[in-house]
Amino acid sequence: MSGRQAEAGGGRFLSFEGIDGAGKSSHIETVAERWRAQGLEVLCTREPGGTGLAETLRELVLHQPMDALTEALLVFAARRDHLQRQVEPALARGAAVLCDRFTDATFAYQGAGRGFDPAVLAVLERWVQQDAQGRLREPQLTLWFDIDPALAAQRLAAARVPDRFERLDGAFFERVRGGYAERAAAAPQRFVRIDAAQPRDAVAAQVQQALAARGW
Ligand SMILES: Nc1ncnc2c1ncn2[C@@H]1O[C@H](COP(=O)(O)OP(=O)(O)O)[C@@H](O)[C@H]1O
Ligand SMILES: Cc1cn([C@H]2C[C@H](O)[C@@H](COP(=O)(O)OP(=O)(O)O)O2)c(=O)[nH]c1=O
């Protein structure tokens, strides 16, 4: 965990990342159920989204044509509202926050995928996530569901109608995957790589092991 990270106030902040079709969504509810059974308050949420305003911005980002800077500004605007109105109050109450994607997705999709300048993303990250003491709000643990884009595409083809991102080609998702690998290499204490190509039970076991390693 980085020294510049904000305290979670007794709460837990866990993010789930990976390219579309990696299979992360299937596991969030399982973790939530287990933690609720332990008596924890759990907030399951997602980005972009998690508040009325942020869900409205999500609809635009997923369905309206726009350039990479507009995309980045909208996902950070959604993140700001989500942090202020949902995530920070939940962590302050001591709740566990399970977030389907967070800022790593912006570096992976808008940065590595679209080719937008990561230095600008890092500036926006500080504006949006830094507290008055200069500490950055980040997940304490990020589970990165890593998978070959060709396999993820096969899963998605069987699963749902694609949105703006899911329609992009294999080369885009190779770059996004590379973006996640870079983020993971830069923050090895925060990231755990999950081999998402495995069958669902094996993936669930890896998730459980990553949480147990944190005493969670
Ligand atoms: N380990 C797995 N093996 C095979 N199919 C999977 C596995 N995990 C999830 N799926 C299926 O793949 C599709 C995409 O999973 P989903 O959880 O929606 O991915 P994501 O949220 O990462 O985009 C769904 O149809 C899901 O049932
Ligand atoms: C959080 C975030 C998501 N995204 C993209 C990645 C996904 O394609 C999309 C929504 O993510 P996701 O919730 O995984 O979609 P779904 O409900 O279809 O599983 O938004 C970005 O491009 N930048 C971001 O900062």
pLDDT single digits (tens) 186-212: 999 999 999 999 999 999 999 999 999
Check if 101 has its Cβ closer than 6 Å to any atom of ligand 2: yes
Check if 159 has its Cβ closer than 6 Å to any atom of ligand 1: yes
**170 annotated as ligand-binding:** no
Which atom of ligand 1 has the smallest separation from the CA of 22? Answer: 22
Position 6 confidence tier, pLDDT thresholds 50, 70, 90: confident
Q: How buried is residue 55: exposed, middle or buried, by Cβ count under 10 Å (0-12/13-18/19+)?
A: middle
80 inside domain: no
Check if 125 has its Cβ closer than 6 Å to any atom of ligand 2: no
Q: Is ipTM beyond 0.85?
A: yes
**22 annotated as ligand-binding:** yes
pLDDT digits (tens, 9 = 90+) for 16-47: 999 999 999 989 999 999 999 999 999 999 99
Residue 106 CA to ligand 2 center (angstroms) comes to 9
Domain containing 197 — which CATH number? 3.40.50.300
Mutate to test the pocket of ligand 2, among 71, 76, 165, 172 (most ligand atoms within 8 A of CB): 165
Position 1 confidence tier, pLDDT thresholds 50, 70, 90: very low
43 inside domain: no
77 inside domain: no
Check if 106 has its Cβ closer than 6 Å to any atom of ligand 2: yes
**147 annotated as ligand-binding:** no
How much is the pLDDT for 4? 61
How much is the pLDDT for 3? 42
Check if 155 has its Cβ closer than 6 Å to any atom of ligand 1: yes
73 inside domain: no
Of all ligands present, the nearest one to the C-alpha of 146 is: 1
What is the residue-wise DSSP string for 131-158? Answer: -TTSPBP--SEEEEEE--HHHHHHHHHH
Alpha-carbon distance 148 to 154, whole Å? 10
DSSP E strands: which ranges in 79-186? 96-100, 141-146
How much is the pLDDT for 132? 84
Q: Which domain holds residue 205?
A: 12-38+102-214
How much is the pLDDT for 110? 97
Alpha-carbon distance 193 to 184, whole Å? 8
How much is the pLDDT for 7? 73
pLDDT digits (tens, 9 = 90+) for 130-182: 988 899 999 999 999 999 999 999 999 888 888 898 888 899 999 999 999 99
How much is the pLDDT for 9? 65
Residue 89 CA to ligand 1 center (angstroms) comes to 31
pLDDT digits (tens, 9 = 90+) for 37-83: 999 999 999 999 999 999 999 999 999 999 999 999 999 999 999 99
4 inside domain: no
90 inside domain: no
56 inside domain: no
- In the three-class reduction of DSSP (H, G, I as helix; E, B as strand; rest coil), residue 210 is classed as helix
53 inside domain: no
**23 annotated as ligand-binding:** yes
* Domain count along the chain: 1
Which atom of ligand 1 has the smallest separation from the CA of 100? Answer: 21
Q: Does position 2 have pLDDT exceeding 60, yes or no?
A: no
Radius of gyration of the chain from its Cα atoms, rounded to whole angstroms: 16
Check if 20 has its Cβ closer than 6 Å to any atom of ligand 2: yes
